[in-house]
Amino acid sequence: AVVSDKPFAADAQQAQTLITMAERQGVQLSVYQNRRWDSDFLTVRKLIESGALGRVTRFESRIERYSPQSVNNGSGGGFLRDLGSHLVDQALLLFGPVTRVYAELDYLEKGQPFDNGFFMSLTHASGVISHLGGSCLQNTPGPRFRVTGTQGCYSVDGLDGQEASTLAGLTPKSEGERWGVEEHRRWGWFEQGEVRERVPSERGCWNQFYLQLQTALQSGGPLPVDARDALATTRVLDAARLSFERHQVVALSPFESHGIKSE
């Protein structure tokens, strides 16, 4: 088996080539989209699937931080492809295929090789609108998630704590049942009219990726992240860059044709 880090490929054509080669060689291919197991995202997914928010009309998701040392860091291909790949993957997982993309990219200086921030508006075939944003030069980050539905809104601030724990040298093994648990003060809010109440956060579990991968390899179950999901994400990122370059909304044609066109 092969596990690729996100964003998986430089563009959709390269992603498709990798998938085709893996299929021809009989190699199982997955992509490390660990933020599917973020505490806040798992909470959002639970609320949506339970119907607590009613029919979702708008989904807002952002990762913003002040990290000037990240400007022109080419390891992820710019902020859009690096962290934007997480946000697009999450939106597709929740609401399905995208039919229209509009995007803006931020550059600190003219001629800068890599973007340091982005905004994307995605129209899903399901009718939901996703607004996704990210920046490494934002001093006052907005909510990590704000999900608006016909029966209420959920919002949560800050970032999942697993990244900070990992950077501090902690692991699921060292922390045991404490791993991925968010403090009460970091829980999000459900609001509807005059009602405002805390929503307990689900436990984050990045290690589930490898546990599911192990199960897939040993018993033939599904991979934790299908490479074709990563291909779909890459197509949206390609469309976002095209939208920025042409200053236009970009339409995505049916997935099988891999078609992208400006409106």
pLDDT confidence bin for 178, thresholds 50/70/90 = very high
Contact 47, 59 (CB under 8 A): no
Distance CA(62)–CA(83), nearest Å, equals: 9
Distance CA(72)–CA(62), nearest Å, equals: 20
How is the beta sheet containing 195-199 ordered, strand by strand? 195-199, 188-192, 152-156, 145-149, 56-64, 129-135, 117-124, 98-106, 250-252, 260-262
What is the average pLDDT across 109-131?
94
On the question of pLDDT at 259 being above 60, the answer is: no
Predicted local confidence at residue 111, as pLDDT: 81
Question: Largest alpha-carbon pair distance within the chain?
Answer: 58
Contact 154, 53 (CB under 8 A): yes
Domain spans in the chain, listed from the N-terminal domain onward: 2-262
Distance CA(1)–CA(214), nearest Å, equals: 10
Cis peptide bond N-terminal to 68, omega within 30? no
Tell me how crowded residue 34 is: count the other CB atoms within 10 A of its CB: 23
> Which architecture characterizes domain 2-262 according to CATH?
2-Layer Sandwich (3.30)
Distance from CA of residue 135 to its chain's centroid? 14
Tell me how crowded residue 28 is: count the other CB atoms within 10 A of its CB: 15
In the block, residue with structure tokens 């996100």: 6
pLDDT tens, 146-176? 999 999 999 999 999 999 999 999 999 999 9
Q: Which residues of 155-186 are buried (b: 16+ CB within 10 A; e: fewer)?
A: bbeebbbbeebeeeeeebeeeeeebbebeeeb
